[in-house]
Amino acid sequence: TGTSAENIIIFTYTINSYTVSFNSNGGTVVTAITQNYNTQVAQPSDPARAGYTFSGWYYDTGLTNLVEWPYTLGAANVTFYAKWTANTYTVSFDVQGGLSTPDSISVTYDSTYGTLPQPEKTGYTFGGWYTGTNGAGALVTSATTVQIIAPQTLYAKWIVNSYTVSFDSAG
């Protein structure tokens, strides 16, 4: 400012940091990552969710734009959303001496069991499908929501029929 001496001006800049947050959509928590602008963000460990398979991180809540890793951090905070695919499991039927088809079906986690076979057994009435033998455990119907995370066997419950025998003494 009006001197004959040489002036040196030093500018110091601080790079901005931004945060990548993760919405696990019902899965385990994934810790947010804060890094400097224009750096490469590594993919975090996959979250877990019972009955589902993790299908990737997406930019949008509609889960249509897949994030590619490593992700280059832009000049704004961002949230990524987890996509999940429901697992399917095999349910086998133990008819406990009866006759039935099919022997097994495939079910999808968090949906209903759907149509279940109606077995037959001479002298008995079918009393439903149960998670344990002879009517033990929980009753499973076509409207029951699938909450299993492994193959399952359902067991037929049988109720013995009663009959009335009448005699005609014919006089």
pLDDT of residue 9: 85
Q: Over the chain, what is the mean pLDDT?
A: 94
Average pLDDT over residues 70-89: 97
User: 115-125 pLDDT, tens per residue?
Assistant: 999 999 999 99
pLDDT of residue 2: 54
Identify the sign of the CA torsion 141, 146, 148, 149. Answer: positive
Tell whether the model's pLDDT for residue 28 goes beyond 70: yes
What is the number of H-type helices and E-type strands within the chain? 0, 11
Count of alpha carbons within 13 Å of 34, Cβ hemisphere only? 4
User: 58-67 pLDDT, tens per residue?
Assistant: 999 999 999 9
Average pLDDT over residues 32-56: 97
